[in-house]
Chain A
């Protein structure tokens, strides 16, 4: 029984990555390496106003004074920043004005990834999803921009926002994640090339899901995108993010920033299905995913909810966080992180309670297989003034196989008497009893593991928008079943 289960575990945890193809497109690159010249090059390429270049240079100079953080439970091989190409963009044939004019290779690429850039096609019978498609360093297409603009919603690439809405960019960029925040945030602030920008005006409920799909295609490049979401008073938006990359033997760096601002009564839901190339069975290659995501609940009764399903990347270093400044504001973090083979993940959240009667919920489900290490790291801080605040955290770990690691680092700080903080965690494996029970009902062990893992992650998966939930569920099963690693 034991050995059979182990055999099946071996099988199901050693699959292949199905998004590992490379698209042959004509790409233009920045010169290899990083210097002030690189930054001038990027800024010039994007025809940016002076304040942007200034911001980038300040960030770069600050970055030079910093060193890579070492506190995470991660084993990171040294990154040589002089070997990375910091900007890669598919060459434009001419200015595009309709979908028909997008490079057919690119369209095919996104179709192959299951992302429709065709506004006429509706996903699985659901109301449309507006997509901003980013390949390497640039956004190639944003759908439904016009439909959305009727509601006063701005949804475009970051580069477009810099050109068309410089005041908004100037006002909010770096206001939640300053370039001084951490090593990778400083790097991103210096060299970020594109990303999505989203502005929901006062009182508007965004009529469709917004999403960005990130694709790394070119070799030896890093992807540094930046997303900024601003929800004005009473606004609501649900935002989704997906990502994949080709299969390569070398590690590629992805260092992104997401900033969210929620004003009074606004609500932002941010969902991620992260499926970067995780490297092969022996730990060769894969994406280094170093991401800073943070939202601020600025106004009273505002809410920011993070949901993430992390299955990819060789290394994940990511802590989507909430600053609960407004009274009665709400922060949520729902996470499923799967690591397999030699993957390493150190992920979690920070809930900073500053306003009165603020509430936060953390549900984290870690699943480790192979020889991977999966750590939850979370901070809950209730400041003195955050009276009557509440936090509930639950972080569970599921271990599949005897050679993986699961670690839980909760940091809890409470500085007033009227708040209540509760934290629970368990670590377990799929029991022989569960497997036997399924088997007795005629279910193969392989399906049983898929079932149990999905059941285990259900609390998080149900938070995802429907378009994503289906994908995530499949991804979870197959990442442990054999077709995706």
Chain B
């Protein structure tokens, strides 16, 4: 049994599915991994799917999403024309592009690339066969199954996804662009599991895109584990541009070793229900993590960013900067949690969440939460929600700038604080452009785009030239 048609999502369905397909799922497991899987399914049996009775889920109900019914596959669909699907690359950006279709790794040539500098990149399923020891060392050690039913389920069913290994002292010469496209004729539930290992003194830039290809409903449960070794550097970009019928549960777990450095950028431009679980653990002293988020939501879109930063060791610095613009009936949730443990002295942790509401039907919930168990810390958080600053509006209009243009200029400026943090110039330009289009209400990514496009009858004119001169 490879697929289950249009069934609603329940705990029982997946427990049953696991029982019936244990042999298939564990086929390439080492003993250790098989054990991890068994433990995970037991955890999932205990936790089930989260519901609104849990404090971290109380504002995000999945009931409607669950009840849409989805197909689920334990094998990838037949070969697709990769070139046709993956048109979403960023112009002039020299990246190594790797792709996933419905959670499965796809490639034209080889499923696993081994580059001259020792970098391994490709299918996780393939890597499990080829490098069982390496996978065993990291897989399931960064993610926390006990914290969330979705993660446990993902671990139990983990089959494919992307594996990237950057050995010690190797700096990846170009950014890796990981494109995850959802394309299916029926509603689909998909899971994928990514494992990224950045060695000591190593460096990796990863651009991780979640895109839809059509209007079909989808439910994704994606877990990514990222280990950054001593003095390692990770630049992480998460771009989300999904259709309005999509539900995405994205859980990214970062583990930072001594003096490791992380920059992570979450740019959410579209999606039905987006849930980002972002968990950072400082596993040794002197780490640094800056997490940025920008969400531009309208209609009935729902974005829920849950950031947990675990300061378990001394001398680590973290910041969370999340900004959002909410239009129509959109809803945004920010739940930042900084935990400073007893011995984590000289911790410096900052949280900031700023929102602009454009209508009286848009909603924001913000909970910047600090939990501190030691006195030698510098922690702060701030949250503001309101409308576009009226002082600034007056100033711009007094200079002869029309009301609409002034509003657009200020919204773009508001978003710019996040966009400007993007280190890859071509990517920054691309995102700037996308943000601008999004704010103008005419975002599209590909020619085939089905998202909230400008219609030929109502072409959107750019009133401002925002290009930097």
Contacts and interface: CB of A to CB of B under 8 A. Distances in A.
Whether A and B touch (Cβ < 8 Å) is answered with: yes
Interface of A: 71, 73, 384, 387, 397, 399-429
B372 A399 contact: yes
B360 A425 contact: no
Given A402-B374, A403-B342, A423 B369 contact: no
B387 A426 contact: no
B186 interface: no
Given A417-B387, A420-B387, A427-B380, A384 B360 contact: yes
Chain B interface bracket (under 10, 10 to 19, 20 to 34, 35 or more): 35 or more
Contact of A408 (B362, B369, B375, B376): B369
Contacts of A416: 357, 360
A410 B367 contact: yes
Interface in B359-386: 359-386
Contacts of A423: 366, 368, 381-384
A353 to B, nearest CB: 12
Contacts of A412: 364-367, 383, 385
Contacts of A427: 370, 372, 377-380
Contact of B369 (A397, A400, A410, A418): A410
A402 B375 contact: yes
B358 interface: yes
Contact of B387 (A408, A411, A418, A422): A418
B410 to A, nearest CB: 14
B30 to A, nearest CB: 41
Contacts of B386: 414, 419-422
17 contacts: A399-B374, A400-B375, A402-B375, A404-B373, A404-B375, A407-B372, A408-B368, A412-B383, A414-B355, A416-B357, A417-B359, A419-B385, A421-B386, A422-B386, A427-B370, A427-B379, A428-B378
A270 to B, nearest CB: 27
B369 A426 contact: no
A429 B372 CA distance: 12
A224 B387 CA distance: 45
Contacts of A401: 375
Q: Most chain-B CB neighbours within 10 Å: which of A404, A418, A420? A: A420
B19 interface: no
B81 interface: no
A8 to B, nearest CB: 14
Contact of B364 (A71, A402, A414): A414
Contact of B379 (A403, A420, A426): A426
A384 B364 CA distance: 11
B370 A407 contact: yes
Nearest to B326: A417
Contacts of A426: 379-380
Q: Which 10 A-B pairs have the closest CB atoms?
A: A399-B375, A420-B386, A427-B379, A417-B357, A429-B375, A412-B366, A416-B360, A423-B383, A414-B385, A408-B370
A118 to B, nearest CB: 45
A171 to B, nearest CB: 35
B391 interface: no
Given A422-B384, A423-B382, A427-B370, A413 B377 contact: no
A384 B362 CA distance: 9
A414 B356 CA distance: 10
A405 B372 contact: yes
Nearest to A427: B379
Given A399-B375, A425-B370, A417 B383 contact: no
B338 to A, nearest CB: 9
A408 B381 contact: yes
B363 A413 contact: yes
B55 interface: yes
A345 B339 CA distance: 18
A402 B357 CA distance: 41
Q: Most chain-B CB neighbours within 10 Å: which of A402, A409, A427? A: A427
A110 B360 CA distance: 54
A21 B271 CA distance: 64
Contacts of B374: 399, 402
